A and B are shown apart, each in its own frame.
Chain A
């Protein structure tokens, strides 16, 4: 009793007394257990997150390098991926279709190919017939160009009586890119320019491009 009285009346610095006052306040074991239990799932999440960050730090550089290489490869190969095996075919088709729709005046008229080809005296090649031409009827011809290379342009009437444009030019792979060579058993490629199908092929060292009737080509495709 006397001891308790002495404790209560013995003076100490306020700071220490306040400190001691609060040190006596503690969570009950049950409260402590509840607060600690709350941290168990969070700890595993934190561990996973930490582990993930560590792994990223460890392999992040490699991952970044691989992504950069992949991006570079895609960028380099994209023309091949996007355009298939004949990346220039669409460019050729676009130019052929443009000239087809323009219908510039013919410079020479006639239905005989030998006669029409005789007109072309300023070409670096000799115009030839292609095995893929069937019952087309020649109407005339004129000088033209394809990818800035001088070409021969013929106007023909197809089996349906519709006018088509037939091009031939010296095939230069470095300019026109790879194209199907029917001499090697490859099938012509059909590329579209301004909605018009254009059949393109290489034969006898020449590049040929023939516009197609969209309807008949569609029917053929559907069949």
Chain B
């Protein structure tokens, strides 16, 4: 039995992928239906399986419809070599900046942030879960940090919202 807290975890993960509550619910419902289909699957912790299932469904549906957002990485891999998710630990933000960030990030960046901040995964674990090379995750962190600095600087200069 997937309890209420676990269902909300799944829903939040789905939201981190597609941003929209209703789409996220559809993803969770579809993954859960598949999970419950016989033969009965026995897991000590079914959440990782369901996360993967949600992710695969998201890619199937949204990639097929060309809805998945992606930003070209260019040559950031080399620059990002020194970065790790831990560098984000020191970044301070306020609520407005977080809201802005969530609207600004593409789906992979949001997923990465979710897995790190909410689920507590390390850089390597995030890379494994997202089926990405670690270098790609590192470059995304690098770019994320840059954007945060830029948006903070803009907020300070203008004195208005992001």
Contact = CB atoms under 8 A, between A and B. Distances in A.
Interface of A: 7-19, 21-23, 25-27, 31-32, 34-36, 38-39, 42-43, 45-46, 49-50
A197 B39 CA distance: 57
Contacts of B25: 27, 31
Contact of B92 (A14, A21, A32): A14
Contact of B88 (A15, A22, A49): A15
Interface string B21-58: 10001001100110010111000000000000000000
A40 to B, nearest CB: 9
Interface in B85-114: 88-99, 102, 113-114
A16 B94 CA distance: 10
How big is the B interface, by class?
Answer: 35 or more
Given A22-B15, A22-B114, A17 B29 contact: no
B4 interface: yes
A12 B7 contact: no
Contacts of B12: 22-23, 25
Nearest to B13: A22
A39 B92 contact: no
A43 B113 CA distance: 34
5 closest A-B pairs by beta carbon, nearest first, are: A18-B117, A42-B36, A11-B92, A14-B91, A17-B98
B40 A39 contact: no
12 contacts: A8-B96, A10-B94, A11-B92, A12-B94, A13-B91, A14-B88, A14-B91, A18-B117, A19-B117, A22-B117, A25-B11, A34-B29
A134 B2 CA distance: 88
B1 to A, nearest CB: 6
